[in-house]
C-alpha cells in the first residue's frame, strides 16, 4: 500500500472535501440534504472569521479522507472540539486512514486545551460505532439531538 499522509486542509482541498461530504450523504441515504457550496465553504473556512478547520488524508497525492471540526463551548466544561465529519472514501476504508485522521483531530483538541471532544454517529452505522468504541469513546444514548433547519430558523419569531 502507498504511504498515507495526513495534513491540515487548505483552500485548494475544498472540492475534494465537498466531494467526500456528498459521498457520505449518499452512504447515509440523504444526498439531497447537502446544500453547502464551495463558495460557502471557502468563506466559512478561509474567510475573515473561519468557523471550521479540517485535515485531509492523502494516498498518492489523492485526498481519500477528511476530518472536519470546529470549536464548541460548554458552560460546564469550557472549550471543546466538535468533529462534524470523519470521512474515508469507501474503497479506502479498513486501512488505518480513519485512525490517522482521528489522531490529527485529537492533536487539534490538545492544541486548544479542549476539555471535551464531541461527535455524532448514526445508530445504524455499526462499523463507525465499533471504531469509536475501540478508541475508548462513550456512546451516549441519554442525550437527544436537537436542531432546526435554515427554513425553521428564518421562520422563527422572537417573542
From residue 99, how far is each of 123, 143, 144 by CA, in Å?
20, 26, 27
The catalytic residue among 82, 105, 132, 156 is 132
CA angle 43-45-47, nearest 5°? 45
State how far the Cα of 134 lies from the Cα of 73, in Å rounded to an integer.
26
Is 132 a residue of the active site?
A: yes
d(CA 151, CA 48): 25
Alpha-carbon gap, residue 88 to 93, rounded angstroms:
6
3-state secondary structure 82-97: EEEEEEECHHHCCCCH
> Which residues participate in catalysis according to the annotation?
132
Amino acid at each position: 500500500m502507498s504511504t498515507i499522509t495526513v495534513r491540515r486542509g487548505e483552500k485548494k482541498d475544498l472540492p475534494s472535501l465537498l466531494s467526500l461530504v456528498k459521498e457520505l450523504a449518499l452512504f447515509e441515504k440523504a444526498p439531497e440534504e447537502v446544500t453547502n457550496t464551495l463558495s460557502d465553504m471557502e468563506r466559512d473556512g478561509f474567510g475573515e472569521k473561519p468557523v471550521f478547520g479540517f485535515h485531509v488524508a492523502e494516498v498518492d497525492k489523492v485526498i481519500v479522507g477528511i476530518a472536519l471540526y470546529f470549536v464548541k463551548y460548554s458552560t460546564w466544561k469550557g472549550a471543546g472540539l466538535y468533529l462534524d465529519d470523519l470521512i474515508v472514501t469507501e474503497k479506502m476504508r479498513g486501512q488505518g486512514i480513519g485512525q490517522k485522521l482521528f489522531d490529527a483531530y485529537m492533536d487539534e483538541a490538545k492544541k486548544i486545551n479542549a476539555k471535551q471532544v464531541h461527535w455524532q454517529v448514526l445508530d445504524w452505522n455499526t462499523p463507525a460505532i465499533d471504531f469509536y468504541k475501540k478508541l475508548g469513546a462513550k456512546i451516549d444514548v441519554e442525550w437527544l439531538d436537537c436542531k432546526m433547519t435554515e427554513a425553521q430558523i428564518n421562520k422563527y419569531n422572537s417573542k
